[in-house]
Structure 1
Amino acid sequence: MTDAISVQVYGGPTALIAYGGLRLLTDPTFDGPGEYPSPSGLTLRKTAPSKGSPHELGRVDAVLLSHDQHADNLDTSGRALLADVPVTLTTVSGAGRLGGTARGLAPWASVELDRPGGGTVTVTAVPARHGPEGCEPVSGDVIGFVLTGEGLGTVYVSGDNAALELVEQIAGRFGPVDTAVIFAGAVRTPLFDGALLTLDSAQAAEAARILRARRVVPVHHDSWAHFSEGRDALVEAFRAAGLTDRVQMD
Structure 2
Amino acid sequence: MFGGPTAGFEYGGLRLLTDPTFDGPGAYGRPGRVLTKTAPATTTPADLGRIDLVLLSHDEHPDNLDNFGRALLDDVSLTLTTPGGGQRLGGKAKGLADWESIELNRPDGGTITVTGVPAIHGPGPREEVEPITGQVVGFVLTGEGLPTVYVSGDNASLDAVREIAGRFAPIDTAILFAGAPRFPSLFDNQLIVLDSAQAVEAAEILGARRVVPVHYDSWAHFTEGRNDIEAAFITAGLSDRLDWGGRS
Shorter-chain TM-score bucket reads: over 0.9
Q: Does 1:185 align with 2:179?
A: yes
Q: How much does 1:17 deviate?
A: 1.6
> In structure 1, what residue type is equivalent to 2:147?
G
Q: Measure the CA separation in 1 of the matches of 2:130 and 2:9.
A: 28
**CA-to-aligned-CA distance 1:110-149 (integer Å, 9 cap, x gap):** 0011100000010000000000122100100000000000
**Structure 2, unaligned stretches of length 5 or more?**
none
Q: Does 1:121 align with 2:112?
A: yes
Q: Does 1:46 align with 2:37?
A: yes
The TM-score with structure 2 as length reference comes to 0.96
Percent identity of the aligned residues? 66
Residue 13 of structure 1: aligned partner: 5
> In structure 2, what residue type is equivalent to 1:192?
F
Q: Does 1:161 align with 2:155?
A: yes
Q: Measure the CA separation in 1 of the matches of 2:58 and 2:26.
A: 21
Residue 97 of structure 2: aligned partner: 106
**CA-to-aligned-CA distance 1:196-217 (integer Å, 9 cap, x gap):** 0000000001101110111000
> In structure 2, what residue type is equivalent to 1:23?
R
Q: How much does 1:41 deviate?
A: 3.1
Equivalences for residues 149-228 of structure 1 within 5 A? 149-189=143-183, 190-228=185-223
Q: What is the root-mean-square deviation of aligned Cα atoms in Å?
A: 0.9
**Structure 1, unaligned stretches of length 5 or more?**
1-8
Q: Which of 11, 26, 32 is the aligned partner of 1:34?
A: 26
Q: How much does 1:171 deviate?
A: 0.6
Q: How much does 1:249 deviate?
A: 2.3
**CA-to-aligned-CA distance 1:3-36 (integer Å, 9 cap, x gap):** xxxxxx1000000121110111000000000000
Q: Which of 221, 234, 244 is the aligned partner of 2:239?
A: 244
**CA-to-aligned-CA distance 1:212-248 (integer Å, 9 cap, x gap):** 1110000000000001100000000000111000001
Q: Which of 11, 15, 26 is the aligned partner of 1:23?
A: 15
Q: How much does 1:42 deviate?
A: 1.1
May I ask how many residue pairs the two structures share in their alignment?
A: 241
Q: Which of 118, 133, 138 is the aligned partner of 1:139?
A: 133
SS in 1 for 2:8: strand
Q: Measure the CA separation in 2 of the matches of 1:172 and 1:69.
A: 29
Q: Does 1:88 align with 2:89?
A: no
Q: Measure the CA separation in 2 of the matches of 1:18 and 1:41.
A: 38
Q: Measure the CA separation in 2 of the matches of 1:141 and 1:228.
A: 22
Q: Measure the CA separation in 2 of the matches of 1:153 and 1:201.
A: 24
**CA-to-aligned-CA distance 1:68-97 (integer Å, 9 cap, x gap):** 000000000000000000000000000111
Flag as ranges the 4+ runs of structure 1 deviating above 4 A: none
Q: Measure the CA separation in 2 of the matches of 1:52 and 1:208.
A: 28
Q: Measure the CA separation in 1 of the matches of 2:67 and 2:217.
A: 19
SS in 1 for 2:7: strand
